[in-house]
Amino acid sequence: MDGNPLKVTILYPCLNEEAAIADCVDAALAALRDADLHGEVLVVDNASTDASPRIAADHGARVVTEHHRGYGNAYLRGLREARGEYVIMLDADGTYPVELTGEFVRLLEQGAEFVLGNRFGGLMQADAMPFLNRYVGNPILSGMTRLLFAVSYQDMHCGMRGLRRDSIPKLALQSGGMEFATEMVVKALDADLATVEIPIPYRPRVGDSKLERVRDAWRHVEYMIAFSPGLFLLVPGLCLATLGYIIELALISGPTRILFRTFDVHANVLGMGMAIVGTTLFGLGVVSTHYAGSMGMRFRHSALSRWLYRVGDRPLRVASLGMLGAGLLTWATVVGSWVSSDFGVLSAVPPLTLGTALMASGVELMAVAFLVNIIGRARAILD
Ligand SMILES: Nc1nc2c(ncn2[C@@H]2O[C@H](COP(=O)(O)OP(=O)(O)O)[C@@H](O)[C@H]2O)c(=O)[nH]1
Ligand SMILES: [Mg+2]
């Protein structure tokens, strides 16, 4: 590093943007000059098949080539290559106000660690965003992120963001596609980065959009589901299993009158099924939690996941052995009394459904503990 370190990197991911890239680079250099900032314009060319990389270099950008296609892959490369103390990220399509670079840097200098633009703050040009993106895709996906991850920001997919370069390792970013945008916001929150969201203008695009609406929207949804094991697996699994075991225990001594009618062995069979399926969902949730944790998620939004991730596989093994033992004991008691009655008539569906549910749950939790252990070992190697 020379004696005069770079203050800012303006980072453009670029896939076939020859119609826009020249103006983008010129405007970025002008923004640096106007704000009197020592900086660089870095273009990560995503193996464009047009003249964008040559044009970008001719206009004074540093150009690096990333052969792995994808919005996230381009940014992952760019964030590794950036040399500035602060990094300002934005699309290479003329939509974002690069002239606000000075303002983003000012906020970062004042202590913000992550500055997120908000195109829905009233400054967007009327024809800047296609109707479906503006009124359907963006609000639904941003709303889902707010709900699932307890985030309060309005525009989760805004392409103009600023952050300190030394915050980047804290985020452990991994996503190669458009879901990178969601990952960054969720992980910034997890990492407790001091975040501010500021309204920014948004202009119509120059050149064709690279967005594949359905595929890219689905990638955001998949990301959110995979990283929300609490809501989608742990809680439903726990509720179902608890209800199943309550039914089993309530009907343990045979047909029982509850409120207005009598429930008998059919309900025991249902309870057994619920207990086993519930444990399966819960177990998958535990595995997902450990997977997400190993991918850098810290579950600021879910106390249950946070706890499960922290305690590891030991409580699972204890619960597994307890359930397996209780199930075996139940079966042994029934078979024992059957044998001692000289193999007489056997009528013991209630305890046997309970015993079977307990044994099945025990075996499942044993397998889950095993997987959790494997994930932990893989993480230890990666770390
Ligand atoms: N969608 C997409 N964009 C890429 C890729 N590689 C680089 N980019 C750049 O990422 C930015 C965002 O893409 P864009 O088409 O503007 O998406 P939109 O802003 O969501 O409509 C642009 O600067 C693209 O040139 C890629 O593989 N896919
Ligand atoms: Mg764009």
* Number of alpha carbons in the 13 Å side-chain half-sphere of residue 324: 12
- The bound ligand whose nearest atom lies closest to the alpha carbon of 178 is 1
Percent of the chain with pLDDT over 70: 99
Give 221-242 pLDDT, tens digit per residue. Answer: 999 999 999 999 999 999 999 9
Taking a 5 Å cut-off on Cβ, the residues next to ion ligand 2 are: 91, 93, 95
Angle at 192 between CA 191 and CA 194, to 5 degrees: 130
pLDDT at 4 over 80: no
Structure confidence at residue 119 (pLDDT): 97
> What residue ranges do the domains of the chain occupy?
8-226, 230-382
Structure confidence at residue 13 (pLDDT): 98
Structure confidence at residue 382 (pLDDT): 65
Cβ of 69 below 6 Å from ligand 1: yes
Structure confidence at residue 220 (pLDDT): 95
- Predicted TM-score of the model (pTM): 0.88
Give 201-216 pLDDT, tens digit per residue. Answer: 999 999 999 999 999 9
pLDDT interval class at 346 (50, 70, 90) = confident
- Give the whole-angstrom CA distance, residue 44 versus residue 40: 13
pLDDT interval class at 345 (50, 70, 90) = confident
Rounded distance from Cα 187 to ligand 2 centre (Å): 22
Rounded distance from Cα 103 to ligand 2 centre (Å): 21
pLDDT at 301 over 60: yes
Q: What superfamily would CATH give domain 8-226?
A: Spore Coat Polysaccharide Biosynthesis Protein SpsA; Chain A (3.90.550.10)
Strand, coil or helix: 56: helix
What is the mean predicted confidence (pLDDT) over 356-375?
97
Among protein residues, the one whose CA lies closest to atom 13 of ligand 1: 210
Task: Collect all residues with Cβ–Cβ distance below 8 Å to 285 and sequence separation of at least 6.
Answer: 229, 230, 232, 233, 234, 237
Percent of the chain with pLDDT over 90: 91
Average pLDDT, the chain: 95
Structure confidence at residue 218 (pLDDT): 95
Closest atom, ligand 1, to C-alpha of 12: 23
pLDDT at 309 over 90: yes
pLDDT at 1 over 60: no
Q: What would the 3-class secondary structure string for 68-90 be?
A: CCCHHHHHHHHHHHCCCCEEEEC
Structure confidence at residue 2 (pLDDT): 54
- Give the whole-angstrom CA distance, residue 92 versus residue 46: 12
User: What stretch of H or E contains 11?
Assistant: strand 8-14
β-bridge mates for residue 8, sequence order: 39, 86
pLDDT at 110 over 80: yes
Which of 10, 11, 12, 15 to mutate for ligand 1's pocket (most ligand atoms within 8 Å of CB)? Answer: 15
Using an 8 Å Cβ cutoff, are 78 and 163 in contact? no
Output the six-digit token pair for 114. Answer: 């992550």
- Give the whole-angstrom CA distance, residue 137 versus residue 167: 29
Structure confidence at residue 171 (pLDDT): 94
pLDDT interval class at 3 (50, 70, 90) = low
- The bound ligand whose nearest atom lies closest to the alpha carbon of 14 is 1
Task: Collect all residues with Cβ–Cβ distance below 8 Å to 131 and sequence separation of at least 6.
Answer: none
Which of 210, 215, 218, 220 to mutate for ligand 1's pocket (most ligand atoms within 8 Å of CB)? Answer: 210
Give 43-96 pLDDT, tens digit per residue. Answer: 999 999 999 999 999 999 999 999 999 999 999 999 999 999 999 999 999 999
Output the six-digit token pair for 42. Answer: 């870095």
Closest atom, ligand 1, to C-alpha of 66: 6
Pairing of strands 62-65, 39-45: parallel
Phi/psi of residue 113, nearest 5 degrees: -105, -15
Output the six-digit token pair for 202. Answer: 């948004």
